[in-house]
Structure 1
Amino acid sequence: MLDAESRTLLRCFQDDPSLTTPELAARVGSTAARVARRLDKLREDGVLRGSTAIIDWPRLGFTVGVSLRITLDKTVSRAFDEFIQSARNVREVIEIQTFLGRVDVRLHLVAKDLPDYQRVYRDEILTLPHIADIEALMTVASVKSDENLPL
């Protein structure tokens, strides 16, 4: 799918997305114009969807991280869609993943401390529609958090 030059470009870009186009060009041994065209093509093809800021939540006072594994009531026809729509509105939820299997959804949320987590859990999470079962897994340590691909 990708040629060697595009893989090299993506590898450098994912290692440091703050690099300018001329800096990327120097790293991959190409011209800035050629790199700009390749980046535009990768964006156009949907391979490169953008770049994001990575926030260190504990530095902002959010010291508690919890993953909630949720099973939905599958007897309700729109349970999945209604749950996801409502979960998107919980500000403390920073990630929503869906699954096939016993667990339908995983929410990852952050809270300032345990009392704040309890508030979010009681006032926000437990009011979400169509929950049949819920399991909370408190984050002890994040050992690896990396979305870089081995290109």
Structure 2
Amino acid sequence: MLDDQDRRLLRYWQADPSLSPGELAERCGMTPGRAARRIARMEEAGVVEGLGAVINWSALGYSVEVSLRVTLDKTQGNAFDSFLAEARKVPEVIEVQTFLGRVDARLSIIARDMAHYQEIYRARILTLPHIADIEALMHVARIKSEETLPL
């Protein structure tokens, strides 16, 4: 689906998302119109889902990150759907993943400090529906956080 020129566009764009279409086209050795058409085609195909700001939440005073591995009570037919719907409503939950296996979901939670985390955990997490078990993993260090693809 992608040819070498598409991959080149994506490589440069991943490396520097602030590049203008003209700068991107120049670096890729093509006209701005051609680059724009290729980008539009990749957006329409769902290859490029959008652009956004990456916000450093620790710079905003959030110093605690906890990963919760959640096992649901699957005797209820709607356990996954209702749990996920309610988990999405918790503002401090910055990521929700689902799995096959013993662990059904993982929630990534940020908090200002441990007291704030305890408040979130007691008031918002423990009240989520259909939880059978929770295991908390305290985030210590982020060793690698890469969203660019090897194109």
Fold conserved (TM > 0.5)? yes
| CA distance in 1: counterparts of 2:23 and 2:97, whole angstroms | 35
Cα deviation 1:108-144 (Å, max 9, x = unaligned): 0100000000000000000000001101111100111
Unaligned runs of 5+ in 1: none
Output the amino acid matched with 1:100.
L
SS of equivalent residue, structure 2 residue 70: strand
SS of equivalent residue, structure 1 residue 40: helix
SS of equivalent residue, structure 1 residue 137: strand
Counterparts of residues 1-150 of structure 1 (less than 5 Å):
1-150=1-150
Unaligned runs of 5+ in 2: none
> What is the RMSD of the two structures over their aligned residues, measured on CA atoms?
0.6
What's the offset of the Cα at 1:16? 1.2
| CA distance in 1: counterparts of 2:68 and 2:51, whole angstroms | 27
Count residues with an aligned counterpart: 151
| CA distance in 1: counterparts of 2:128 and 2:15, whole angstroms | 38
TM-score in terms of structure 2 length: 0.98
Cα deviation 1:35-72 (Å, max 9, x = unaligned): 10000000000000011211111100000001101010
TM-score in terms of structure 1 length: 0.98
